[in-house]
Amino acid sequence: MTGWTTLVQAETLAMALNRNDLAVVDCRYSLLDPNAGENTYRASHLPGATYAHLERDLSDMTPPGDGRHPWPSATQLANRLSRWGIGPTTQVIAYDDGDGAIAARLWFLLRMLGHEKVAVLDGGWARWTALGLPVSSSPPTTAAQFRAQYDATQLAFDSVRLFDADDVEAHLHTGGMLVDARSAPRFRGEEEPLDRVAGHVPGAVNRPYAQNLVDGRFKSPMLLAEEFRALLGSNSPTDVVAMCGSGVTACHNLLAMERAGLKGAGLYTGSWSGWISDVSRSVATGA
Protein backbone atom coordinates (compact mmCIF):
# COMPACT_ATOMS: atom_id res chain seq x y z
CA MET A 1 0.00 0.00 0.00
CA THR A 2 1.47 3.36 -1.00
CA GLY A 3 1.40 6.34 1.32
CA TRP A 4 3.17 7.77 4.35
CA THR A 5 3.23 5.22 7.14
CA THR A 6 5.68 6.55 9.76
CA LEU A 7 6.85 10.14 9.26
CA VAL A 8 6.29 12.90 6.75
CA GLN A 9 8.44 16.02 6.35
CA ALA A 10 6.88 19.48 6.53
CA GLU A 11 8.06 20.48 3.06
CA THR A 12 6.51 17.34 1.56
CA LEU A 13 3.19 17.75 3.35
CA ALA A 14 2.96 21.41 2.32
CA MET A 15 2.83 20.34 -1.32
CA ALA A 16 0.05 17.82 -0.63
CA LEU A 17 -2.44 19.86 1.41
CA ASN A 18 -4.95 19.98 -1.44
CA ARG A 19 -5.18 16.20 -1.81
CA ASN A 20 -8.78 15.06 -1.39
CA ASP A 21 -7.71 11.84 0.37
CA LEU A 22 -5.73 13.70 3.06
CA ALA A 23 -6.80 14.32 6.66
CA VAL A 24 -4.59 16.33 9.00
CA VAL A 25 -5.20 15.98 12.74
CA ASP A 26 -3.90 18.46 15.30
CA CYS A 27 -3.05 16.62 18.56
CA ARG A 28 -1.60 19.48 20.60
CA TYR A 29 -2.13 18.90 24.32
CA SER A 30 -0.60 19.94 27.65
CA LEU A 31 -0.79 17.95 30.89
CA LEU A 32 -0.50 21.24 32.75
CA ASP A 33 -3.56 22.71 31.02
CA PRO A 34 -5.83 20.21 29.22
CA ASN A 35 -7.56 23.07 27.35
CA ALA A 36 -4.40 24.72 26.05
CA GLY A 37 -4.01 22.56 22.95
CA GLU A 38 -7.53 23.14 21.74
CA ASN A 39 -7.28 26.86 22.41
CA THR A 40 -4.10 27.15 20.35
CA TYR A 41 -5.72 25.06 17.62
CA ARG A 42 -8.60 27.53 17.38
CA ALA A 43 -6.13 30.39 17.07
CA SER A 44 -3.97 28.79 14.39
CA HIS A 45 -3.42 25.36 12.84
CA LEU A 46 -2.40 23.63 9.63
CA PRO A 47 -4.90 24.39 6.85
CA GLY A 48 -7.82 21.96 6.94
CA ALA A 49 -6.74 20.29 10.18
CA THR A 50 -9.24 18.94 12.66
CA TYR A 51 -8.51 18.72 16.41
CA ALA A 52 -8.09 15.59 18.55
CA HIS A 53 -8.07 15.97 22.34
CA LEU A 54 -5.93 13.39 24.14
CA GLU A 55 -8.48 12.69 26.88
CA ARG A 56 -11.74 13.31 25.03
CA ASP A 57 -10.89 11.74 21.65
CA LEU A 58 -7.82 9.50 22.03
CA SER A 59 -8.66 7.93 25.41
CA ASP A 60 -11.65 6.57 27.29
CA MET A 61 -11.53 8.28 30.66
CA THR A 62 -14.48 6.36 32.17
CA PRO A 63 -13.05 2.95 33.25
CA PRO A 64 -11.20 2.92 36.60
CA GLY A 65 -7.90 1.14 37.09
CA ASP A 66 -6.66 1.43 33.51
CA GLY A 67 -4.16 4.23 34.03
CA ARG A 68 -4.34 7.95 33.43
CA HIS A 69 -5.18 7.66 29.71
CA PRO A 70 -7.13 4.42 29.20
CA TRP A 71 -7.21 2.93 25.72
CA PRO A 72 -10.52 3.67 23.96
CA SER A 73 -12.69 1.01 22.37
CA ALA A 74 -12.51 0.42 18.63
CA THR A 75 -16.09 1.64 18.33
CA GLN A 76 -15.30 4.90 20.13
CA LEU A 77 -12.29 5.56 17.92
CA ALA A 78 -14.13 4.66 14.72
CA ASN A 79 -16.92 7.07 15.58
CA ARG A 80 -14.37 9.83 16.13
CA LEU A 81 -12.64 9.06 12.82
CA SER A 82 -15.91 9.11 10.93
CA ARG A 83 -16.84 12.42 12.52
CA TRP A 84 -13.55 13.80 11.22
CA GLY A 85 -14.24 12.43 7.74
CA ILE A 86 -11.56 9.73 7.97
CA GLY A 87 -12.19 6.43 6.23
CA PRO A 88 -10.13 3.27 5.61
CA THR A 89 -8.35 4.74 2.57
CA THR A 90 -7.65 8.20 3.99
CA GLN A 91 -4.06 9.34 4.35
CA VAL A 92 -3.88 10.64 7.93
CA ILE A 93 -1.21 13.02 9.19
CA ALA A 94 -0.96 13.72 12.93
CA TYR A 95 1.04 16.49 14.55
CA ASP A 96 1.51 18.18 17.91
CA ASP A 97 3.53 21.08 19.27
CA GLY A 98 5.94 19.01 21.32
CA ASP A 99 8.10 16.09 20.34
CA GLY A 100 5.54 14.01 18.49
CA ALA A 101 4.45 11.87 21.45
CA ILE A 102 0.74 12.81 21.38
CA ALA A 103 0.66 12.51 17.59
CA ALA A 104 2.30 9.09 17.92
CA ARG A 105 -0.60 8.00 20.15
CA LEU A 106 -3.03 8.64 17.27
CA TRP A 107 -0.59 6.93 14.89
CA PHE A 108 -0.58 3.75 16.99
CA LEU A 109 -4.34 3.83 17.62
CA LEU A 110 -4.92 3.81 13.87
CA ARG A 111 -2.31 1.12 13.34
CA MET A 112 -4.10 -1.12 15.81
CA LEU A 113 -7.25 -0.67 13.70
CA GLY A 114 -5.27 -1.90 10.69
CA HIS A 115 -5.02 1.56 9.13
CA GLU A 116 -1.62 1.71 7.41
CA LYS A 117 -1.73 5.17 5.81
CA VAL A 118 -1.02 7.25 8.88
CA ALA A 119 2.12 9.24 9.67
CA VAL A 120 3.42 11.83 12.12
CA LEU A 121 4.63 15.23 10.95
CA ASP A 122 8.34 15.22 11.78
CA GLY A 123 9.17 18.28 13.86
CA GLY A 124 5.47 19.04 14.32
CA TRP A 125 4.01 22.50 14.66
CA ALA A 126 7.36 24.02 15.68
CA ARG A 127 9.12 23.10 12.45
CA TRP A 128 6.07 23.88 10.28
CA THR A 129 5.86 27.43 11.58
CA ALA A 130 9.65 27.88 11.63
CA LEU A 131 9.63 27.20 7.89
CA GLY A 132 6.92 29.82 7.38
CA LEU A 133 4.48 27.30 5.93
CA PRO A 134 0.77 28.22 5.69
CA VAL A 135 -1.51 28.21 8.72
CA SER A 136 -5.21 28.88 9.20
CA SER A 137 -7.71 29.74 11.91
CA SER A 138 -10.70 28.43 9.93
CA PRO A 139 -12.50 25.20 10.91
CA PRO A 140 -12.16 22.23 8.52
CA THR A 141 -14.57 22.20 5.60
CA THR A 142 -17.62 19.95 5.49
CA ALA A 143 -16.32 18.29 2.31
CA ALA A 144 -14.78 15.62 4.50
CA GLN A 145 -18.27 14.33 5.29
CA PHE A 146 -18.44 12.81 1.82
CA ARG A 147 -15.43 10.54 2.30
CA ALA A 148 -15.85 6.84 2.95
CA GLN A 149 -16.24 6.33 6.68
CA TYR A 150 -15.45 3.55 9.10
CA ASP A 151 -18.15 1.08 10.05
CA ALA A 152 -17.77 1.02 13.82
CA THR A 153 -19.69 -2.25 14.11
CA GLN A 154 -17.11 -4.11 12.02
CA LEU A 155 -13.94 -3.01 13.80
CA ALA A 156 -11.67 -4.48 16.45
CA PHE A 157 -8.18 -3.63 17.64
CA ASP A 158 -5.22 -5.92 17.10
CA SER A 159 -5.43 -7.49 20.56
CA VAL A 160 -2.21 -9.46 20.05
CA ARG A 161 -0.20 -6.25 20.39
CA LEU A 162 -2.19 -4.67 23.24
CA PHE A 163 -1.25 -5.83 26.75
CA ASP A 164 -2.83 -5.41 30.16
CA ALA A 165 -1.02 -5.94 33.48
CA ASP A 166 -1.62 -9.69 33.56
CA ASP A 167 -0.36 -9.99 29.98
CA VAL A 168 2.78 -8.04 30.93
CA GLU A 169 3.51 -10.31 33.88
CA ALA A 170 3.14 -13.38 31.68
CA HIS A 171 5.26 -11.74 28.98
CA LEU A 172 8.11 -11.07 31.39
CA HIS A 173 7.82 -14.55 32.90
CA THR A 174 8.43 -16.11 29.48
CA GLY A 175 11.49 -13.94 28.76
CA GLY A 176 9.82 -11.09 26.89
CA MET A 177 11.14 -7.54 27.02
CA LEU A 178 9.38 -4.52 28.57
CA VAL A 179 10.75 -1.12 27.48
CA ASP A 180 9.80 1.94 29.54
CA ALA A 181 9.81 5.28 27.66
CA ARG A 182 9.84 7.56 30.72
CA SER A 183 12.82 9.68 31.67
CA ALA A 184 15.65 7.95 33.54
CA PRO A 185 14.98 9.71 36.89
CA ARG A 186 11.34 8.63 36.81
CA PHE A 187 12.28 5.09 35.82
CA ARG A 188 14.77 4.88 38.70
CA GLY A 189 12.17 6.22 41.13
CA GLU A 190 14.12 9.37 41.97
CA GLU A 191 11.20 11.61 41.03
CA GLU A 192 7.57 11.17 40.06
CA PRO A 193 5.67 14.32 39.05
CA LEU A 194 2.50 12.61 37.80
CA ASP A 195 1.78 9.33 39.60
CA ARG A 196 1.42 8.49 43.29
CA VAL A 197 4.20 5.87 43.32
CA ALA A 198 7.72 6.21 41.91
CA GLY A 199 9.72 3.42 40.30
CA HIS A 200 9.21 0.91 37.51
CA VAL A 201 7.85 -2.53 36.71
CA PRO A 202 10.36 -5.16 37.87
CA GLY A 203 12.19 -6.54 34.85
CA ALA A 204 11.62 -3.48 32.64
CA VAL A 205 14.44 -1.66 30.87
CA ASN A 206 14.61 2.05 30.16
CA ARG A 207 14.66 3.79 26.75
CA PRO A 208 13.55 7.42 27.26
CA TYR A 209 11.59 8.39 24.17
CA ALA A 210 13.46 11.69 23.94
CA GLN A 211 16.46 9.66 22.76
CA ASN A 212 14.64 9.13 19.46
CA LEU A 213 15.11 12.81 18.56
CA VAL A 214 17.79 15.25 17.51
CA ASP A 215 16.85 18.95 17.48
CA GLY A 216 13.16 18.10 17.71
CA ARG A 217 13.14 15.65 14.78
CA PHE A 218 13.47 11.90 14.61
CA LYS A 219 16.92 10.42 14.13
CA SER A 220 17.66 8.67 10.85
CA PRO A 221 16.26 5.15 10.38
CA MET A 222 19.81 3.75 10.36
CA LEU A 223 20.73 5.36 13.67
CA LEU A 224 17.45 4.35 15.30
CA ALA A 225 17.96 0.78 14.09
CA GLU A 226 21.48 0.71 15.53
CA GLU A 227 20.34 2.00 18.91
CA PHE A 228 17.29 -0.24 19.23
CA ARG A 229 19.17 -3.34 18.10
CA ALA A 230 21.73 -2.64 20.81
CA LEU A 231 18.89 -2.36 23.33
CA LEU A 232 17.07 -5.48 22.13
CA GLY A 233 20.11 -7.72 21.92
CA SER A 234 18.95 -11.15 20.82
CA ASN A 235 15.27 -10.23 21.19
CA SER A 236 13.14 -9.70 18.10
CA PRO A 237 10.82 -6.67 17.86
CA THR A 238 7.84 -8.95 18.52
CA ASP A 239 9.42 -9.85 21.88
CA VAL A 240 9.07 -6.20 22.95
CA VAL A 241 6.25 -4.47 24.83
CA ALA A 242 6.50 -0.68 25.19
CA MET A 243 5.23 1.25 28.20
CA CYS A 244 5.50 4.70 29.78
CA GLY A 245 3.47 6.59 32.36
CA SER A 246 0.02 6.23 30.78
CA GLY A 247 0.40 4.58 27.36
CA VAL A 248 1.07 7.76 25.39
CA THR A 249 4.80 8.44 25.07
CA ALA A 250 5.46 4.71 24.69
CA CYS A 251 3.92 5.08 21.23
CA HIS A 252 6.87 7.32 20.36
CA ASN A 253 9.22 4.35 20.86
CA LEU A 254 6.90 2.17 18.78
CA LEU A 255 6.96 4.74 15.98
CA ALA A 256 10.75 5.01 16.17
CA MET A 257 11.10 1.23 16.02
CA GLU A 258 8.89 0.98 12.97
CA ARG A 259 10.77 3.85 11.36
CA ALA A 260 13.89 1.74 11.91
CA GLY A 261 12.30 -1.30 10.26
CA LEU A 262 11.70 -3.06 13.59
CA LYS A 263 8.01 -3.90 13.41
CA GLY A 264 5.63 -5.83 15.61
CA ALA A 265 6.23 -4.57 19.17
CA GLY A 266 3.27 -4.28 21.53
CA LEU A 267 1.98 -1.69 23.99
CA TYR A 268 1.13 -1.99 27.68
CA THR A 269 -1.91 0.29 27.46
CA GLY A 270 -2.25 1.06 31.19
CA SER A 271 1.51 1.51 31.63
CA TRP A 272 2.93 2.68 34.96
CA SER A 273 -0.22 4.46 36.15
CA GLY A 274 -2.19 1.28 35.44
CA TRP A 275 0.40 -0.95 37.09
CA ILE A 276 0.33 0.91 40.41
CA SER A 277 -3.49 0.96 40.50
CA ASP A 278 -3.17 -2.46 42.19
CA VAL A 279 -1.14 -2.04 45.38
CA SER A 280 -0.26 -5.75 45.40
CA ARG A 281 1.96 -5.39 42.33
CA SER A 282 5.70 -5.18 42.93
CA VAL A 283 7.62 -1.96 42.34
CA ALA A 284 11.32 -1.68 41.53
CA THR A 285 13.64 1.31 41.91
CA GLY A 286 17.15 2.09 40.75
CA ALA A 287 18.73 1.41 37.40
Give pLDDT, residue 65. Answer: 67
Same domain flag for 95 and 167 = no
Predicted confidence at residue 155, as pLDDT, reads: 79
150 with 129, same domain: the answer is yes
Do the Cβ atoms of 136 and 44 come closer than 8 Å? yes
* 207 and 228 part of one domain: yes
The per-residue pLDDT for 63 is 72
- pTM here is 0.95
Report d(CA 104, CA 110) in Å as an integer. Answer: 10
Q: Is 38 left (phi over 0), alpha (psi -120 to 50) or beta?
A: alpha
> What integer pLDDT is reported at residue 141 of this predicted model?
72
> How many C-beta neighbours within 10 Å does residue 64 have?
7
Q: Is residue 89 part of a domain?
A: yes
| Residue of 62, 118, 61, 120 lying closest to 249 (CA atoms) | 120
Same domain, 208 and 130: no
Domain end, chosen from 154, 175, 195, is at 154
| Domains contained in the chain, number | 2
Residue 281 lies inside a defined structural domain of this protein: no
**CATH code: domain of residue 147:** 3.40.250.10
Residue ranges of the chain with pLDDT lower than 50?
1, 142-146
Closest Cα partner for 139 from 13, 41, 10? 41
For position 145, what pLDDT does the model report? 45
Q: What domain range is 230 assigned to?
A: 159-275
pLDDT for position 5 = 98
99 and 36, same structural domain? yes
pLDDT at 23: 95
Residue 147, pLDDT score: 52
Ordered DSSP codes for 202-260: TT-EE--GGGGEETTEEPPHHHHHHHHHHHHTT--GGGEEEE-SSSSTHHHHHHHHHHT
The DSSP secondary-structure symbol of 30 reads -
- Which one from 178, 244, 250, 276 is the annotated catalytic residue? 244
The verdict on whether 244 is a catalytic residue reads yes
